[in-house]
A and B are shown apart, each in its own frame.
Chain A
Amino acid sequence: MQIQLREVTPDHIEKEKRNASQIWGKDLSINNGEHLHIVAPSGSGKTSLMHFIYGLRKDYSGSIFYDNTDIKKLSTESFSSFRQHKISIIFQDLRLFENQTVTENIEIKRILNPYHPEEKISEMARRLGIENKLKQIAKTCSYGEQQRIAIIRALMQPFDFLLLDEPYSHLDEVNRKKAMDLIYEECEKRGAAMVFADLKPLDFLKGEKVVYL
């Protein structure tokens, strides 16, 4: 699968920002297996870009293509199919079911299109250090723990593209490393592309194409 951005510009963006950007108003394509690191300070539109690509918002000009299909023309049903099979996301605002347990939060994504068996949840939780939190209600976990839950949830499905929107903002160095290793591993298994957005370039990222928003 390939994702193409053709002159994508948010409806409400200052001209200077647009001109300075390596993404807004430009053409960009991401293919399977590629790693794209998007660097931008707060308020420059990282989350908007992720939402545009994931199809949650349409308030932009230009076009985004999944292979040859303009996603503005995709039906809600087609989007759900893409989100089940081709594209996964870790939201900046995490978007967990607050009153569900950690396991339930992950399981609800896994059963939709299982890539991993159920046991994989506890294995990943162990690797990220939240194994003892699995039965806890999500809202009672710390933000850092919730970030790790969102990461595991995103890795439960098959995908060609993984979108990460500041996924480590509340993780310490050690946990960041652990999470990154897990994500790399999972992307490699699937031969998937990774689009990683963060405030500054991260030194432990390897072989990424870095673009400034």
Chain B
Amino acid sequence: MPLSYKNIQPLIVSGRKTSKWLGYFGLGIGVLLLFISIQMFVNIDYLLQENNPRKSGGYDFISISKTITNENMGRDNSFTNSDLANLKAEPDIAGVAPLISNKFRVRATAGDIIPFSTDLFLESIDDNFIDTVPPTFTWQPGQMVVPIIFSSDFLEMYNVFAPAQGLPQLSAKTISSVNIILECSGPYGSQNFKGNIVALSDRINSLLVPQTFMNWSNLHFMEDTTVHASRVYIKTKDANDPKLISFLDSQNYHLNKDKVKFSRIKSILQNIVSALGVFGILVIVLALMLFSFYLQLMIAKSKDNLRLLLTLGYSPQWLAKSVARTWIPVYLSIIIVALLVTEVFQLLFMQLSFVSAANLSYYPAWSVWLTALLLFGLTIFMNFKQVRKELDNIL
């Protein structure tokens, strides 16, 4: 009969069964809470980031304008160069781009298909601030076709009122095939261009043209190159940073609150889930402490037998390993059951209407697996260390 824990098992007196089962139960609940909160954290991050056009490369892009009050209305409320320099100097702001608008008159007609004609405004901004920039979004003097990036909010708005006006509704795809004639005119000349919608932007509510076109036409039709930006886009790590918000407030800048509401919700949700995770960790720690007391009691009760085993030549290392190893199946089962429940939870979560469309994974996130692995290693290691310590104490 080879040497195994079975031989010495009858010599190890176990502690109270209730505290053992209570420990298992507590550990199971704690591990489950931790796994589910990690999974939910990942889910929320994925779901809310996917739908968030402001966010890209870890940055928020938000538009600010000067607050119009009774005192300052009627005055020039555009951003001056020093305003822009001040914004750039702010450490929380990673980049600043003014929206430059046309000073000449623009009239748009949609040709014969859509009997539509209106005065328009055009704006341009640094390409790096636009969420969707196709390679065709360029313009050179002499080019008759002007690429336009159209706000998807505007398209939605258009589709709301179009039927009442007897105009056809347009899909995101068909809008690119609509021919728009841009009639640009000013004191120094006039010219017609063909406008072509090359992309829709979720981020910027405007009709965007390439900066080269805006500069050329402002100069060509108005002979005016001064920058008048009533809106400025800023690039920041966190649009919800209280420091940034108080800075903007102090400057009397108005922030589009709707745009940051989304990430506020996300941050609140993630905080709740994190709190749940912390609670899970707390429960795990308590359960492990309960185990630790159980183990101490077990070793104290078996002290005489263990001492005799050591006297007879049993190695403390082997004893510690063998005793600690008996918990492996327990820990493993708890973690596997918690993983399975997390999987079921994820499958149920995927059934929710707002989730089903998203491309979420059916399986727990890698961070859950990694946590499971770390937790398993940690518990076994801690057990071994504790048994070893207790054995050294009785020697």
Contact = CB atoms under 8 A, between A and B. Distances in A.
Given A97-B305, A111-B2, A111-B3, A77 B316 contact: yes
Given A76-B392, A76-B395, A80-B316, A108 B311 contact: no
Contact of A109 (B305, B312, B315, B317): B312
B308 A83 contact: no
Contact of A83 (B313, B317, B392): B313
Interface string B309-340: 11111111110000000000000000000000
Contacts of A83: 311-313
Which of A76, A80, A95, A100 has the most chain B CB within a 10 Å cutoff? A80
A112 B313 contact: yes
A111 B1 contact: yes
Nearest to B316: A76
> What interface size band does chain B fall in?
20 to 34
Given A95-B308, A112-B3, A80 B395 contact: no
Nearest to B318: A80
> What interface size band does chain A fall in?
20 to 34
Interface string B4-33: 000110110000000000000000000000
A42 to B, nearest CB: 23
A80 B3 contact: no
A100 B315 CA distance: 21
Contacts of B11: 97, 100, 108
A124 to B, nearest CB: 17
A117 to B, nearest CB: 11
A84 interface: yes
A118 B395 CA distance: 30
Interface in A87-132: 95, 97, 100, 104, 107-109, 111-113, 118
A44 to B, nearest CB: 23
Contacts, number: 51
Contacts of B2: 111
A136 B309 CA distance: 20
Nearest to A87: B313
A80 B315 contact: yes
A56 interface: yes
A80 B313 contact: yes
A104 B8 CA distance: 10
Contacts of B7: 107-108, 111
B313 A157 contact: yes
Which of B1, B11, B309, B313 has the most chain A CB within a 10 Å cutoff? B313
Contact of B313 (A56, A97, A104, A113): A113
A166 to B, nearest CB: 17
A76 B310 contact: yes
B360 to A, nearest CB: 52
A56 B313 CA distance: 11
Nearest to B8: A108
A81 interface: yes
B317 A77 contact: yes
Interface string B375-395: 000000000000000001001
Contacts of B308: 95, 97
B315 A56 contact: no
Contacts of B315: 76-77, 80-81, 84
Contacts of B314: 80, 112
Nearest to B391: A76
B369 to A, nearest CB: 36
B70 to A, nearest CB: 86
Interface string A184-213: 000000000000000000000000000000
| List of 6 A-B pairs having minimum Cβ-Cβ separation, nearest first | A83-B313, A80-B315, A84-B313, A111-B3, A76-B316, A80-B313
Given A100-B10, A111-B3, 11 more contacts: A56-B311, A76-B310, A77-B315, A83-B311, A107-B1, A107-B7, A108-B8, A108-B312, A111-B2, A112-B312, A112-B314
